[in-house]
Amino acid sequence: MDYETISLEIADDVAVLTLDRADKMNALNAQMRAEIAHAATEAGKNARVLVLTGAGRAFCSGQDLSDRANADNLDLERTLRDEYAPMLRAIFDCPVPTISAVNGAAAGAGANIALAADVVIASESAYFLQAFTRIGLIPDAGGTYWLTRNMGSAKAMGAALFADKISARQADDWGMIWEAVPDAEFDAVWRARAAHLAKGPTLAYAHVKQAIRGSWDNSLDDQLALEGRAQGACGQSRDFKEGVLAFLEKRPPKYEGR
């Protein structure tokens, strides 16, 4: 598929999905949402890790308000259900590890697209902003889901109500993201992280995602059972045999992936 609002490059088992409306700070319109959903699905089938990042000085500034031809008649519930939800599910349900490489402003729905990934790496000059209450709305695009889980209800509530900018360093300190890195090192860091995951045990990564996400709703007994099933599957894999053999032979493992 040819994309107009994003780009998708796959090399060395790493898929890099770049939001590419730099003149609009990568603001989301209907076409971009559909293209992100398609590209994330494509990446899950053809790569071993997916990276989302932005072109220019922003990661994503959220909804493109100029894309709303008639705001009075806009059905926000339909837009979230039919356009945002499929895009977010494509990222969240991607079978391979996902990284958001947040290179600049991540505001509104743009912040929450970033949080949909398994790991968020941000440049120190980047920031996150739940801007919704500034225009009389609530956080959407999964914001009320990921914020609470990532940094707790107290910080999530303040971020939603006050709509203050959260610097990358604050986000790191609060547990909202994985790490904030100096701008000069940002590109090298996220690329190295992506390369590490692309060479890793893909089956184990998939079970890690399932187990950690399942822990929110499971009792201890349920979670122990889930871990047992996942570990049983991993223990029967070629990746496990290769990992043990590589350890004994004191060499890096060579996982097959798919």
Q: How many CB atoms lie within 10 A of CB 219?
A: 9
| Number of continuous H segments (helices) and E segments (strands) in the chain | 10, 10
What pLDDT sits at residue 73? 57
**pLDDT cut 70: percent of the chain above it:** 97
Q: How far is CA 115 from its chain centroid?
A: 5
Choose the final residue of a domain: 162, 179, 198: 198
Radius of gyration from C-alpha coordinates of the chain: 19
Summarised one tens digit per residue, pLDDT across range 119-153 is 999 999 999 999 999 999 999 999 999 999 999 99
Q: Is residue 227 one of the residues assigned to a domain?
A: yes
Nearest CA to 116 out of 137, 102, 134, 135 is that of 102
What pLDDT sits at residue 175? 95
Same-domain status, 233 and 215: yes
Do 126 and 81 meet the contact criterion of CB atoms below 8 Å apart? no
Domain of 224? 202-248
Same-domain status, 125 and 139: yes
Distances (CA, A) of 124 to 111, 135, 185, 210: 15, 27, 10, 30
Distances (CA, A) of 138 to 67, 86, 231: 19, 19, 40
What pLDDT sits at residue 71? 52
pLDDT score of 192 more than 90: yes
Same-domain status, 187 and 221: no
Summarised one tens digit per residue, pLDDT across range 19-47 is 999 999 999 999 999 999 999 999 999 99
**How many domains does the chain divide into?**
2
Same-domain status, 212 and 155: no
What pLDDT sits at residue 65? 84
Same-domain status, 123 and 217: no
Same-domain status, 157 and 40: yes
Distances (CA, A) of 228 to 179, 204, 215, 221: 30, 13, 13, 11
Single-letter residue type at 189? V
H/E run at residue 77: helix 76-79
Nearest CA to 101 out of 165, 11, 16, 164 is that of 16
Q: Is residue 258 one of the residues assigned to a domain?
A: no
What pLDDT sits at residue 190? 98
Query: In the structure encoding, which two tokens stand for residue 222, read together?
Result: 């349920």
Summarised one tens digit per residue, pLDDT across range 81-94 is 999 999 999 999 99
Same-domain status, 80 and 16: yes
Any idea what the CATH number is for the domain that residue 237 is in? 1.10.12
Q: Is residue 258 very low, low, confident or very high in pLDDT (cuts 50, 70, 90)?
A: low
Q: Is residue 70 very low, low, confident or very high in pLDDT (cuts 50, 70, 90)?
A: very low
pLDDT score of 163 more than 80: yes
Read off the pLDDT of each residue in 169-186 and give the average, rounded to a whole number: 97
Do 106 and 121 meet the contact criterion of CB atoms below 8 Å apart? no
What pLDDT sits at residue 66? 82
Single-letter residue type at 207? H
What pLDDT sits at residue 85? 96
Same-domain status, 147 and 87: yes
Summarised one tens digit per residue, pLDDT across range 50-64 is 999 999 999 999 999
Do 256 and 239 meet the contact criterion of CB atoms below 8 Å apart? yes
What SS3 class is residue 54? strand
